[in-house]
Amino acid sequence: MGGKEEKKQGFRPFLGTTFLIGFGFFTMGLMDPLYDTYVPLFLRRYIDSNALVGGIMTLDNLLQLCLIPLIAIWSDRTRTRIGRRMPFIIVMLPLSAVLFRLIPSLAVVSLAALIGIIFFFNIFKTSVRGPVVALMPDSIPGDYRSEANGVINMMGGIGLIVSTLVLARLMNVSDGLPFFIAAVCIIFATLILFIFVKERLPEGEEKTEKGEPVLTFLKRVFSRRENSPGERAGSGVARILISLFFWFMAYEGAKPFLGLYLVESLGASEGNAALAQGAAGISSVILAIPAGYWAHRFGRRNFIRFSLMFLGAILFFIPLSGFLSQKLGPSPRLLLFLLLMFLYGAVWIGVVVNSFPMLWQMADYGNMGIYTGLYYTFSQSAAILAPPITGAVIDLGGYPGIFIFGGICMLIAWFTMGGVSAGEPSKRNR
């Protein structure tokens, strides 16, 4: 009877815990937009070169590539009375908040002070991301991680909306005010995580107290056979990682240039340069939770491949829509592009919500952090490589080239995902 009752309830018993864990993602949603938008403006007070400003702004991507895998694996091997992720969270997240608050204050002191606070802030913010992300699969059974990932991505999206639509407007009052309010919210969120989220072993997971060396694990995971005849689990892991590299190449390649595209090609004002990301962010928040449920019903791989095909179609259509609407005024062209970005965000969240759970489904209690680290290794590699490539594409062929490049990357990801059979929930809602 208990098994039937659990099957009937599905994800519902884990919903409250997932919302609480989502406060960790809410903090990232608060910090990232303010950092990405206003730190370049602070740097431009001292630096005239856009290239140099851009180089400093890539520091967080470089640190994420190095630190997230290391700290996530370290947390795999940590054993304390309050858990293995929580010690990192309760130390590094409040320190991130304090350093984040100091950024605008030190921005008026000197360039050296600003760069110094940026460096130390990124060390702590980057180090806590792995344990925060791994906290969810530690607490939620593998069958319901798509639904849970939808919830926590929605929480991160709410943080992004609060940051961009509420806190950012306070910059007109004071440079430090939005950073201060965000820092207070982050410390409050840390207290919620510490008080209410108790780390436990998910049902059905095997607890391994002693982790094997990372290199040994990687060799094993890329060579062991999985349940599907004739296919290797490593093949499934490798295909997912290659696929996410290419879809992040598309996403990260376009993201830095969307504002410039709006201003220079569509005639938007600088104050409206963030509208494209805002439109995509709103639709992502709306559909984050449904995307997890739909993937549970239709299969994670199938849902991701459908989303990738749709994303490729949207990206290929953007240059065509620009050509077809040349005779229209700036406002209709801008509205059409924002509508496409709204659709893009609605479909993109289906990829984001379900890719992590596919990897986590192949992991167990002892190596969840390693899989989390692998995800960030490939996604951050794309984040570092894509902008220079798409910048060169713009120089050679104009802004339409970044969307064509993105569409090609999405189709490559669609193809490589076709060979994945692992990573599905064992219980399917039909």
Over the stretch 80-107, which tens digit does the pLDDT of each residue have?
888 889 999 999 999 999 999 999 999 9
* One domain for residues 285 and 410: yes
Number of domains within the chain: 2
Q: Could you tell me the CATH number of the domain that includes residue 299?
A: 1.20.1250.20
* One domain for residues 88 and 223: no
* One domain for residues 95 and 190: yes
Task: Report the candidate in 85, 212, 94, 141 with the shortest Cα–Cα distance to residue 360.
Answer: 141
Residue 117 lies in a domain: yes
Task: Report the candidate in 245, 214, 261, 239 with the shortest Cα–Cα distance to residue 367.
Answer: 214
Residues 279-315 pLDDT 10s: 888 899 899 999 988 988 889 999 999 999 999 999 9
Residue 209 lies in a domain: no
* One domain for residues 304 and 226: yes
* One domain for residues 156 and 268: no
Q: Is 127:71 a contact under the CB 8 Å cutoff?
A: yes
Residue 290 lies in a domain: yes
* One domain for residues 183 and 274: no
Half-sphere exposure of 339 (CA within 13 A, CB side): 9
Give me the domain span that covers residue 336.
215-422
Torsion, Cα 416 420 424 426, to 10 degrees, reads 170
* One domain for residues 314 and 400: yes
d(CA 356, CA 345): 18
State the pTM of this model: 0.80
* One domain for residues 231 and 321: yes
At 45, the pLDDT band (50, 70, 90 cuts) reads confident
Query: Greater confidence, 103 or 272?
Result: 103
* One domain for residues 166 and 250: no
C-alpha distance across the termini of the chain, in Å:
20
